[in-house]
Amino acid sequence: MDKLLLRRGLLKNNNLLNMNITHKLILTAGLFLLSIFSLQAQTTQGTYFWLTFGRNLNVVNTQIPNFEIVITTGGAPANVTLSFTGLNTETTFYVGANLIHPYLLNETQRNAVYNTTTGKSNRSLLIKSDKPIAVYAMNFNPSSSDATNILPENVLGSEYYQISYTPCNYAGNPSGITLYDAYAVVATQDNTSVYHNGILAATLNLGEVYYRTAETDMTGAHITSNKPVAFFAANQRAAVPDCNVYGSCLLQQLPPVNTWDKTFLVPVTILPNNPNNIVRIMACKNNTNITQKGGKLRTGVPNAQTGLTNLQAGQFVELDIHLDSAGCYIEANNPVGVCAYMTNPGYQGHFTESYPTQCWVPGINQTVSNILIAPFILTVPGFIIDNQHAIVVTKTATKNKTMVSIGGAAPISLQGGSWRDHTEAGMSFYIMPLNNSLTSYLFSNQKGLIIMGYGFGSSALQTYYYLAGSAMRNLTAEFYANEISHTYLQDTTFCNKNVSFRAEIEGLHPNPGSLKWFIDFGSGEVEEVAARDQLTWSKPFENGTYPIRMWVRFENGEEKNIISTVNVKSLWIKIRNVRVE
């Protein structure tokens, strides 16, 4: 009786595999082509960052808060330079692989990045690195602190909305100081025009800052510019949700509107005796309708809408979310911006060891395969954060594939917490304590994840909550190759050379010729005429590197180019069918 064996192996250098079979062989061979598409994703990691700070609650107006910057490296060491625009000075240091470098600004440097009144200044800081890094910053004073991730320059945009909270000007606030909501805009190019609700507010050159304050909540203010800028929400002191003696500054760099999404899972921080967070959802388009599962709409909130339907651009709603609901699933018909807040002590009877903080929540479509996060190391005497955590958000179906590498060690499964599954979202989150404050944590899941970080001190002096890492893809116009986003094709392998393209565009102009595709086959860019105005199309590719550009005209007349490079490589695979007689 014949016995059939199937053997499969990879041929290298065109050498045949030796076979030690004494029986008669009948060999057939097949050839497979594997196409590999690789692109650098737009994420919260990068090499070029802009930063500035706003006021914190002070005992006296002349006191400057403490500012700390944390640099985190991955598998490659980095040379990092801090350039202070106003001082015209630089500080350079080396950070080893998989390490954390906390940098506490000295008094001169703090003055050079600290904004206090509405107007234009050069109080900014440029952070440069020769290797990709993650950057975080904290603004802290006794009982008033918050932290933010810093976005790399390549993901910045020209349209933002302020998302903040009511400054806590209650009767009897400390020393009778007037407290302000605020935002700061940093120019990344010369001749940058900045508009507040359509009115020119300032014209900035490279590194200059426009800082604006108000005694009222500026949430919903529309900030636009003619060139990309960095935008920071910087409330001097807020009590979330109700003004009382327990308040804190809020600090969060907000992403541009073109990165806003339509679906979200908002996790809930775990704090002693406090299983609640508050969420604000901001509309950027008229007639926005929102559905949610796991939250409760808050009413009586100043300036907030009382329903989830027919929101106009610049309007927002506010939700309570609870740990028992495994977070909150949010879905909208238009892109929305979402921020989550830790609440002040005593809210809903929960007396906790935290003060209010603010965190940007990316949409589900902004996941990446790996993210760096680092605990904060406060080096000022008397300031303590001894409980630090990472919140991992990922798909429920593949949550158990999530791993973490601590300090560059071999990846292990998550530890110290448990998964909380949200059925409607198909997403889960896990809160993992960061017990080693001297090293970086690299979380990974090839199916995608988002990481937030938070911490608090046992003496209730400091708290923070911030986005640690995610993608920052432009979702107003993007294209997919074989259902992989053009900015998320890194390390993706396709098993044939036919590539199917699909575009997703918000507000495409209806006139013919508003969507064009271009490919460079090595002798110059050529329009793919057959694909003009086609949201979906396919084409076979041979081995090579192909710059691909999608040109879009939007309803408002704006034009945008989405450019990517597709790399196609081949591996030869022999299929050997061995029949033994």
- Label each residue of 22-57 as H, E or C: CCCCCCCCCEECCEEECCCCCECCEEEEEECECCCC
Which two structure tokens, joined as six digits, stand for 578?
A: 């061995």
Final residue before a domain boundary, out of 444, 469, 494: 469
What 8-state DSSP symbol labels residue 410? Answer: P
pLDDT at 24: 30
* 477 and 443 part of one domain: no
Across residues 540-551, what is the average pLDDT?
Answer: 83
279/476 Cα distance (integer angstroms): 23
- The count of other CB atoms within 10 Å of the CB of residue 304 is 19
pLDDT band for position 1 (cuts 50, 70, 90): very low
Which two structure tokens, joined as six digits, stand for 73?
A: 């490296």
* 315 and 379 part of one domain: yes
pLDDT at 451: 97
Secondary structure (3-state) at 506 = coil
Tens of pLDDT along 188-233? 999 999 999 999 999 999 999 999 999 999 999 999 999 999 999 9
* 499 and 536 part of one domain: yes
Non-local (6+) Cβ contacts of 532 within 8 A are: 512, 513, 515, 516, 517
Final residue before a domain boundary, out of 443, 469, 495: 469
pLDDT at 40: 41
72/268 Cα distance (integer angstroms): 25
Strand bridging mode 427-433 / 419-422: antiparallel
| Domain interval for residue 477 | 1-40+473-581
Residue 356: asked if its preceding bond is cis (omega within 30°), the reply is no
235/250 Cα distance (integer angstroms): 5
- Hey, what amino acid is at 324? D
* 427 and 479 part of one domain: no
Return mean pLDDT, the chain.
84
pLDDT at 29: 27
Share of residues in the chain with pLDDT > 90 (%): 57
Q: Is the pLDDT of residue 275 over 70?
A: yes
* 294 and 387 part of one domain: yes
What 8-state DSSP symbol labels residue 508? Answer: B
b/e 454-486 (16+ beta carbons within 10 angstroms → b): bbbbeeebbbbbbbbbbbbbbbbbbbbbbeebb
To the nearest 5 percent, what fractions of the chain are helix, strand and coil? 5, 50, 45
Non-local (6+) Cβ contacts of 64 within 8 A are: 107, 110, 111, 114
pLDDT at 376: 80
Across residues 103-111, what is the average pLDDT?
Answer: 94
* 128 and 196 part of one domain: yes
pLDDT at 504: 85
Q: Which of 14-18, 302-306, 393-397, 565-569 has the lowest mean pLDDT?
A: 14-18
Across residues 443-466, what is the average pLDDT?
Answer: 85
What 8-state DSSP symbol labels residue 298? Answer: -
* 175 and 287 part of one domain: yes
Tens of pLDDT along 242-271? 776 678 889 999 999 999 999 999 999 988
Please work out, in degrees rounded to the nearest 5, the angle formed at the alpha carbon of residue 298 by the alpha carbons of 296 and 299.
140
Residue 507's closest CA among 554, 445, 571, 576? 554
Residues 355, 341 contacting (CB under 8 angstroms)? no
Residues 442, 449 contacting (CB under 8 angstroms)? no
* 21 and 3 part of one domain: yes
Final residue before a domain boundary, out of 469, 504, 525: 469
* 441 and 505 part of one domain: no
From the number of C-beta atoms within 10 Å of its C-beta (0-12, 13-18, 19+), residue 117 rates as: exposed
- The count of other CB atoms within 10 Å of the CB of residue 69 is 22
**Domains held by the chain: number:** 2
Which two structure tokens, joined as six digits, stand for 258?
A: 């073109």
**Phi and psi for 111 in degrees, rounded to 5?**
-60, -30
* 563 and 462 part of one domain: no
Point out which residues pair with 503 in neighbouring strands: 479
Identify the residue with better confidence: 273 or 294. 294
Tens of pLDDT along 348-398? 666 666 688 999 999 999 999 999 888 887 767 667 777 899 999 999 999
- Hey, what amino acid is at 71? I
* 28 and 149 part of one domain: no
Share of residues in the chain with pLDDT > 70 (%): 83
H or E stretch at 128: strand 125-141
Strand bridging mode 427-433 / 209-214: unpaired
* 34 and 163 part of one domain: no
